[in-house]
Amino acid sequence: MTSTFLHGDNAIPADEMIDADAPTCENCDQRMWLCRVETKVRAEGTTSRKEYECKICGDSRTVVLQRDLQLT
């Protein structure tokens, strides 16, 4: 876990790191840039839609993550 810039004592959980899982471009094998994040929170859980773009060749990719709500 990494720490925040201004608050070294507050760690950022791995699931809250936005660009920790950026995909590589299939065309030029470079790491893609995160362009947009859309998160929807519902009673059933959360759905995150991340749009990535390659700055070298212009290819784009959308990654959708769905997490079910777990009550403890």
Please report, for the domain that includes residue 34, its CATH number.
Answer: 2.20.25.420
Residue 1, in any domain of the structure: no
Residue 5, in any domain of the structure: no
Q: Which long-range contacts (CB under 8 A, 24 or more apart) does 14-22 make?
A: 18/50, 21/63, 22/52
User: 16 or 64: which carries more pLDDT confidence?
Assistant: 64
- State the pLDDT at residue 35: 92
The model's pTM? 0.65
What residues make up the domain containing 43? 19-68
Q: How far apart are CA 63 and CA 50, in angstroms?
A: 5
The number of folded domains in the chain is: 1
Residue 10, in any domain of the structure: no
Residue 13, in any domain of the structure: no
Residue 3 contacts residue 11 (beta carbons within 8 Å): yes
Residue 9, in any domain of the structure: no
Q: How many of the other CB atoms lie within 10 Å of CB of 25?
A: 20
Residue 59 contacts residue 26 (beta carbons within 8 Å): yes
User: 11 or 46: which carries more pLDDT confidence?
Assistant: 46
Residue 63, in any domain of the structure: yes
Q: What digits encode the pLDDT tens for the residues 21-68? A: 788 999 999 999 999 999 999 888 889 999 999 999 999 999 998 888
